[in-house]
């Protein structure tokens, strides 16, 4: 999937369509005090070693995320491009 480096898109802070620069999505590190992490730490506390993992159904492909920065207010928003796909996103031009 190919995307242009600059796109016109809606900015929720400016409340109108503005120019956005697109770049790849970088995953943020996990928060140490989030509910899921606290629940997991509570579960493995004491003599119990590991907990049985939940079995999730396998998804075919991933949703491709990009970060877009508004040229007017310089706020960065995260957005999903297209549906689940096995192809990786290419940013160019």
Residues that bind Zn ion in the complex, under the rule CB under 5 A: 11, 13-14, 70, 72-73
State which residue, 43 or 72, has the beta carbon closest to Zn ion.
Answer: 72
Measured CA to CA in angstroms, residue 8 lies from 61, 68, 70, 72, 77 at distances of: 27, 10, 9, 12, 14
CA–CA dist 13, 69 (Å, integer): 11
DSSP 65: E
State which residue, 11 or 66, has the beta carbon closest to Zn ion.
Answer: 11
Minimal distance in Å, beta carbon 7 to Zn ion?
13
Displacement of CA 29 from its chain's centroid (Å): 12
State which residue, 20 or 64, has the beta carbon closest to Zn ion.
Answer: 20
Minimal distance in Å, beta carbon 82 to Zn ion?
23
Minimal distance in Å, beta carbon 8 to Zn ion?
12
């Amino acid at each position: 999937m190919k995307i242009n480096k600059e796109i016109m898109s809606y900015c929720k802070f400016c409340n109108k369509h503005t120019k956005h620069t697109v770049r790849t999505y970088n995953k943020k590190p996990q928060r140490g005090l989030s509910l899921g992490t606290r629940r997991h730490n509570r579960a493995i506390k004491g003599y119990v070693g590991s907990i049985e993992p939940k079995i999730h159904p396998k998804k075919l492909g991933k949703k491709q995320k990009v970060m877009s920065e508004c040229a007017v207010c310089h706020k960065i928003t995260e957005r999903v491009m297209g549906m689940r796909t096995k192809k990786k996103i290419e940013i160019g031009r």
